[in-house]
Amino acid sequence: MRIQDAKVFVCSPGRNFVTLKISTDEGVYGLGDCTLNGRELAVASYLTDHVIPCIVGRDPFQTEDVWQYLYRGAYWRKGPVTMSAIAAVDMALWDIKGKALNTPLYNLLGGKSRTGVMVYGHANGRDLEETSDQVAKYIDEGYLAVRAQSGVPGLPSTYGVSKDKTFYEPAEKGLPPENSWSSEKYLNHVPKLFKALRTRFGDDVHLLHDAHHRLTPIQAARLGKEIEPYHLFWLEDAVTAELQEGFRIIRQHTTTPLAVGEIFDTVWDARLLISEQLIDYLRMTVVRGGGITPLRKVAAFADLYHVQTGCHGATDLSPVTMGAALHFDISVGNFGIQEYMRHTPETDEVFPHAYWFKDGYLHPGDKPGLGVDFDEKLAAKFPYERAYLPVNRKLDGTMWNW
């Protein structure tokens, strides 16, 4: 079997997605996701103009060698554009392998290690009451774990609070919207949110929260300490993690579990965080982390240090990534949890998939390969339109992390 052709599709069913389709000379094709929110065309060009010419004619079963070729051979390594492009090729080749061997991908990754993949949903609201009611909705739908994000009194907007409660889409068409931020107002508010949620829902439901890169280590230490009585499943992205050793400060002050890594694209972004046990969950997922091939290796390294997986699963990762992640999740030994931000009906129509949700768990399904398809004709009805993630400024106008 040989790779005969590869094509990149940029479409916008509900939101922008970038999809790679690799076709072989035996009629089997594979899909890969390389959506990079706000920088989609950069990845599309990296694949079309630089990668695809190098993979046509290769043996699609050689997932390891093709990955090494695209990583080492690029010379200019790492970074979200490069690694998302490599991830799409890797996903597509694993998809082809599963289809050619007529088996669901998880069987090629060690088989099922659990009966299902526990997921968390996204409850959000403008204030405590609305957020609490949204948590109740997710619990009623059978979720065992719910992330809670609420508006912050005194701030016109904040991360994670969406107009449409079910589908959270932060990217907006036109130029980047400007959000405003106050860590002080946020830090005074969040403990009240989780006190209210534990009072209403008790101890069993897993509660999660995403600080979205906005605190300093000592602020994160304060927040972690103040929410300890509400024993969150995790506090995510408390601090931007370029300075990995900065997490030592947080760790010294709190037992609240820490999750980091949705923006990581190689193991080097997390090496110290893992080896010094500064985090409890690694958020890196298939599309950002270079594919299934490297993610398995990072998970094995993390397992040595009691770090579990917690793959990113926002709407800006297509159902192809969700499908790939679920095959990884159901097999990997040190599985923690999978994020499940539902896609819109348009997205699900363009990306029909075998995975399904029941009683708080997702299941990858048993179709050969990833179990996700791509309707090219329908996709063409949803043309790409440039959209940006917001930028964020402190109340005095200082640029800050969104």
Residue 339 is a binding residue for Mg ion (CB under 5 A): no
Residue 170 is a binding residue for ligand CS2 (CB under 6 A): yes
Point out the catalytic residue in the list 122, 189, 209, 212: 212
Residue 265 is a binding residue for ligand CS2 (CB under 6 A): no
Residue 269 is a binding residue for ligand CS2 (CB under 6 A): no
**Euclidean distance between CA atoms 126 and 98, whole angstroms:** 44
**Euclidean distance between CA atoms 388 and 385, whole angstroms:** 10
Residue 387 is a binding residue for ligand CS2 (CB under 6 A): no
**Euclidean distance between CA atoms 173 and 12, whole angstroms:** 11
Encoding tokens for residue 216?
Answer: 């300093």
Point out the catalytic residue in the list 46, 71, 143, 159: 159
Query: Which range in 58-66, 190-198, 225-233, 309-317 contacts ligand CS2 by CB under 6 A?
Result: 309-317
Strands 387-388 and 172-173: antiparallel
Least separation in angstroms between residue 160's CB and Mg ion is 8
Least separation in angstroms between residue 36's CB and ligand CS2 is 9
Query: Which range in 133-141, 177-185, 208-216, 223-231 contacts Mg ion by CB under 5 A?
Result: 208-216
User: Catalytic: 353?
Assistant: no
**Euclidean distance between CA atoms 150 and 219, whole angstroms:** 18
Least separation in angstroms between residue 236's CB and Mg ion is 5
**Euclidean distance between CA atoms 111 and 262, whole angstroms:** 25
**Euclidean distance between CA atoms 100 and 366, whole angstroms:** 14
Q: Footprint of ligand CS2 on residues 310-349 (CB under 6 A)?
A: 312, 314, 316, 339, 341
Least separation in angstroms between residue 395's CB and Mg ion is 23
Encoding tokens for residue 254?
Answer: 């709190």
When CB distances are held under 5 to 8 angstroms depending on the partner's kind, the choice from Mg ion, ligand CS2, none that residue 290 binds is: none
Collapsed DSSP state (helix, strand, coil) of residue 128 = helix
> What is the DSSP track for 282-334?
E---TTTTT-HHHHHHHHHHHHTTT-EE-----TTS-HHHHHHHHHHHTT-TT
Residue 210 is a binding residue for Mg ion (CB under 5 A): yes
Torsion of CA 165, 168, 172, 178, to 10 degrees: 80
User: Catalytic: 159?
Assistant: yes
Distances (CA, A) of 243 to 29, 94, 216, 342, 378: 41, 34, 11, 32, 44
For Mg ion, the closer CB: 90 or 237? 237
When CB distances are held under 5 to 8 angstroms depending on the partner's kind, the choice from Mg ion, ligand CS2, none that residue 19 binds is: none
Residues labelled catalytic: 159, 212
- Per CB under 5 A, residues contacting Mg ion are 210, 262
- Per CB under 6 A, residues contacting ligand CS2 are 37, 170, 210, 212, 262, 312, 314, 316, 339, 341, 389
